[in-house]
């Protein structure tokens, strides 16, 4: 029996209605930008497996470092214990994070990093004797699938059964370069009428909202306003972190730096699951006390797993290398040329790019998980390219190490799809 057949017996896949989508493709090999299925078919991974393996699948440098670490310390409790990989990782992060970030808290995935960010914001005020119970978030944001993260996510397509259990969240539109006055007015009203603890946002690019991009000056003004009202700003850089926007972090495009940052996805280069929530000294100090209950009583069994820390540290070394920085510039320039190549196509609109993130919309009516979207997905796969359209948006977020030939193939298949839809 094929892996695909055996899969169906016991496995329940994420974000999947199994009755409509019974098949899962079995991948037997992953190397650099290429996935190979159990029948030997190859696919260029043009979305870096949800933006994780930016240095290429099974990156030799990362795997060799992790396999050395594996023989030294595999796992140890991170409450009351520490280890070199976590310490080295913290030092490496300090060199690249916005300079106001001083403390690092570990967890396992993007959603939990956001939960922790939310808890930091709520408890920060609680510890200072102020009850603030409302959060602000952008419309159409996505922050994960645990309860706090779902609550701040505006894209609640399938959250129906859970909505009555959500945290209190007020929403503002993203700044689009024209609406700043109105956004700031809404923000002012929300802050006046509620006790706002924090503002949770995806800086500059809203990934799950189909790579919706907004304006950095507007975001800077929003952050400034929040900070002047004691609202803890929580930047969810789970998707944008580690070079995607052309800088190490999207937050580096603004003058006003966040109080808290959430990181995961490309953190370990796709090798192991891990996430971080980082914060300023000021946030940390609100928890630092002789009173034990003022601590942050949150922890996961695998917090700061030494193997994941080693993968992350190796990934950061790669990110800072001349080779990867050159790759990032190469991919950015290549996307720009592709953008001008398709910009006059009658079925193409809203071409947008930030760093290596490239997206455009098909100028035809489509639903997010509809039939045409499935057909497009299948068309790309049949042509050897893994792209995952979001509604009528086609986006590319390939590994930095994708070759020019592979990039050209991705573009050619997209152009071919434009002729067929």
Q: Which residues are annotated as a binding site?
A: 50, 110-111, 236, 265, 299-301, 388
In whole angstroms, give the CA distance from residue 259 to residue 257.
7
Pairing mode of beta strands 212-213, 385-386? unpaired
- The residue within the footprint of ligand PLP, chosen from 43, 142, 386, 395 (CB under 6 A), is 142
Residue nearest to ligand PLP (CB): 110
C-beta closer to ligand PLP: residue 250 or 307: 250
Which residues, including other chains, have CB under 8 Å from residue 115's CB and lie 6 or more apart? 107, 144, 146, 147, 148, 149, 298
From 136-144, 218-226, 327-335, 385-393, span contacting ligand PLP (CB under 6 A): 136-144
Q: Which position has the token pair 């690019």?
A: 205
Using alpha carbons, list the distances in angstroms from residue 138 to 11, 102, 234, 351.
34, 26, 12, 22
Would you say how long the chain is, in residues? 421
From 105-113, 306-314, 366-374, 404-412, span contacting ligand PLP (CB under 6 A): 105-113
Judge contact between 244 and 253, C-beta under 8 A.
no
Q: At what angle do helices 322-342 and 404-420 cross, to 10 degrees?
A: 20
- The residue within the footprint of ligand PLP, chosen from 85, 148, 207, 389 (CB under 6 A), is 207
From 130-138, 233-241, 339-347, 393-401, span contacting ligand PLP (CB under 6 A): 233-241
Does 269 help bind ligand PLP (rule: CB under 6 A)? no
* CB of residue 119 to ligand PLP, shortest distance in Å: 15
In the annotated binding site for substrate, the residues are 50, 265, 299, 388
- The residue within the footprint of ligand PLP, chosen from 45, 202, 259, 327 (CB under 6 A), is 202
From 139-147, 213-221, 361-369, 409-417, span contacting ligand PLP (CB under 6 A): 139-147
Report the half-sphere exposure of 22 (CA within 13 A, side-chain side): 5
C-beta closer to ligand PLP: residue 145 or 285: 145
C-beta closer to ligand PLP: residue 111 or 334: 111
Does 111 help bind ligand PLP (rule: CB under 6 A)? yes
Three-class SS state of 405: helix
* CB of residue 207 to ligand PLP, shortest distance in Å: 4
Does 110 help bind ligand PLP (rule: CB under 6 A)? yes
* CB of residue 143 to ligand PLP, shortest distance in Å: 5
Instruction: Please give the angle made by the CA atoms of 77, 78 and 84, to the nearest 5 degrees.
Output: 110
Site for ligand PLP in 246-265 (CB under 6 A): 264-265
Q: Which of 354, 327, 396 is nearest to 249 (CA)?
A: 354
Does 109 help bind ligand PLP (rule: CB under 6 A)? yes
* CB of residue 111 to ligand PLP, shortest distance in Å: 3
Show the DSSP H helices in 248-383 as ranges: 281-285, 306-320, 322-342, 371-382
* CB of residue 258 to ligand PLP, shortest distance in Å: 13
CB atoms within 10 A of CB 412: 13
Three-class SS state of 352: strand
* CB of residue 81 to ligand PLP, shortest distance in Å: 25
Instruction: Name the DSSP class of 160.
Output: G
Instruction: Please give the angle made by the CA atoms of 313, 55 and 85, to the nearest 5 degrees.
Output: 10
Where along the sequence are the contacts to ligand PLP (CB under 6 A)? Answer: 109-111, 114, 142-144, 202, 207, 236, 238-239, 264-265
């Amino acid at each position: 029996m094929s892996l695909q057949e055996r899969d169906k017996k016991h496995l329940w896949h994420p974000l999947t209605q199994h009755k409509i989508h019974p098949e899962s493709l079995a991948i037997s090999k992953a190397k650099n930008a290429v996935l190979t299925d159990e029948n030997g078919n190859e696919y260029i991974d043009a979305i870096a497996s949800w933006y994780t393996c930016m240095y290429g699948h099974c990156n030799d440098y990362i795997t060799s470092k992790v396999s050395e670490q594996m023989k030294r310390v595999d796992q140890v409790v991170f409450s009351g214990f520490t280890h070199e990989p976590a310490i080295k990782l913290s030092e490496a992060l300090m060199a690249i994070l916005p300079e106001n970030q001083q403390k690092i808290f570990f967890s396992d995935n993007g959603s939990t990093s956001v939960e922790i960010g939310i808890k930091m914001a709520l408890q920060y005020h609680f510890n200072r004797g102020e009850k603030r119970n409302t959060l602000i978030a952008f419309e159409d944001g996505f922050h994960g699938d645990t309860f706090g993260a779902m609550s701040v996510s505006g894209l609640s397509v399938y959250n129906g059964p859970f909505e009555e259990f959500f945290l209190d969240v007020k929403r503002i539109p993203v700044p689009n370069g024209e609406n700043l006055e109105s956004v700031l007015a809404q923000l002012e009203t929300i802050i006046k009428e509620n006790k706002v603890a924090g503002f949770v946002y995806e800086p500059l690019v809203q990934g799950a909202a189909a790579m919706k991009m907004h304006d950095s000056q507007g975001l800077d003004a929003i952050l400034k306003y929040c900070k002047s009202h004691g609202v803890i700003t929580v930047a969810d850089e789970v998707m944008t972190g580690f070079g995607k926007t052309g800088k190490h972090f999207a937050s580096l495009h603004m003058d006003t730096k966040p109080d808290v940052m959430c990181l995961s996805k490309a953190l370990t280069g796709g090798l192991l699951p891990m996430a971080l929530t980082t914060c300023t000294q000021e946030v940390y100090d609100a928890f630092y006390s002789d009173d034990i209950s003022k601590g942050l009583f949150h922890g996961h069994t695998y917090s700061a797993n030494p193997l994941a820390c080693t993968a992350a540290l190796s990934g950061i070394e790669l990110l800072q290398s001349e080779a990867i920085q050159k790759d990032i510039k190469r991919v950015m320039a290549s996307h720009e040329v592709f953008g001008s190549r398709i910009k006059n196509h009658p079925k193409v609109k809203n071409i947008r790019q930030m760093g290596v993130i490239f997206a455009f919309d098909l100028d035809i009516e489509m639903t997010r998980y509809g039939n045409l979207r499935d057909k497009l997905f299948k068309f790309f796969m049949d042509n050897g390219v893994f792209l995952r359209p979001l509604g009528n948006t086609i986006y590319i977020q390939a590994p930095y190490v994708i070759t020019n030939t592979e990039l050209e193939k991705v573009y050619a298949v997209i152009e071919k799809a434009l002729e067929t839809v």
